[in-house]
Amino acid sequence: MPVQLKTEAIVLRKLDYGDTSKIATFYSKDFGKISGIIKGARSPKSKIGMMVDVMNHLEIVFYQKDTRDVQLVSQVNIVSHYPKIKEDLTKLKYASAILELISNLTPENESSEKLYRGIIRILELINSDGGDPREYFIRFFLFMLKEMGYEIQMNKCAQCGNSLGAEKVIAFNYSFGFLCKNCREERIVSFEFQQELFNLLVCLNGKKNEIKYNSKDYDKLIFVLEKYLIHHIPEFKGIKSFNIY
């Protein structure tokens, strides 16, 4: 017997189903990633169909049945639709990349309220007027790596545990992480961090808001983090949103 449930959720993606319906993937506050069908959603008269759009923050009511993978969504109320993101291609690019990471890397029906709140918070920040969306994207990426168990250790050498010191160039290995001057001789160096770039990464991994940076540094960090995740999760083939916008 289906059980009626209510939760808040972000729409990760949607697709047409049949002649009149849509299937959407949500990341919900209480149930993690779930899929739901919205019957009649493609009708011009369907208010629910218009609200179930990618990136919208919704309150949904659905009927949960354990024997099916796609649940029936019966009611929807919109909480926020982040208009400033959808009006700005740069904001949209990095916000979409965040949703893509969540969609591709989180398991079905495994809830994490911390991750859910992290998604809401980062979308609110990107939607705001100030700040570089690349900064928010990197902060979220580092947060998600930690939640997934792939956190990058930055305060000491990943191999020997010694302090990285104030070296001008710090070696990074995709398998192990940051390496001190001695340990770098024993491993393949995947990327070399100049001290300034390394300090920027450390700041973004913390709570500092006033950060000095070169615009190209953000792109370098995104490149390294994406390659790091591809290395650790072979089925992850990179962020497609970067090639769309």
- Distance in angstroms (rounded) separating the CA atoms of residues 158 and 156: 6
- In this predicted structure, the answer to whether residue 230 has a pLDDT above a threshold of 80 is yes
CA angle 62/3/24 to nearest 5° reads 25
Q: Is 144 helix (H, G, I), strand (E, B) or coil?
A: helix
Q: How confident is the model at residue 166 (pLDDT cuts 50, 70, 90)?
A: confident
Mean pLDDT across 29-51: 91
Residue written as tokens 């491993």? 187
Integer-rounded Cα radius of gyration of the chain? 20
- In this predicted structure, the answer to whether residue 122 has a pLDDT above a threshold of 90 is yes
Report CA-CA distances (Å) from 86 to 90, 101, 140, 160, 182: 9, 18, 19, 46, 48
Residues 44-63: tens digit of each pLDDT: 888 888 899 999 999 999 99
Q: What percentage of residues in the chain have a pLDDT greater than 90? A: 79
- In this predicted structure, the answer to whether residue 245 has a pLDDT above a threshold of 90 is no
Q: Bridge partners of 155?
A: none
Mean pLDDT across 27-50: 92
For the purposes of burial, counting CB atoms within 10 Å of the CB of 235, is it exposed (0-12), middle (13-18) or buried (19 or more)? exposed
Mean pLDDT across 118-137: 93
How many CB atoms within 10 Å of residue 212? 9
Q: Are 144 and 116 in contact (CB under 8 A)?
A: no
Q: How confident is the model at residue 164 (pLDDT cuts 50, 70, 90)?
A: confident
Mean pLDDT across 168-174: 95
Q: Bridge partners of 40?
A: none
- Distance in angstroms (rounded) separating the CA atoms of residues 36 and 60: 10
Residues 185-216: tens digit of each pLDDT: 989 999 999 999 999 999 999 876 666 777 89
- In this predicted structure, the answer to whether residue 165 has a pLDDT above a threshold of 80 is no
Mean pLDDT across 147-173: 91
Q: How confident is the model at residue 85 (pLDDT cuts 50, 70, 90)?
A: very high
Q: Model-level pTM?
A: 0.92
- Write down the pLDDT at residue 209: 67
All domains of the chain in start order, with CATH: 3-81 (2.40.50.140), 84-244 (1.20.1440.120)
Q: Bridge partners of 179?
A: 171
Report CA-CA distances (Å) from 111 to 7, 26, 190: 12, 12, 34
- Write down the pLDDT at residue 213: 75
- Write down the pLDDT at residue 106: 96
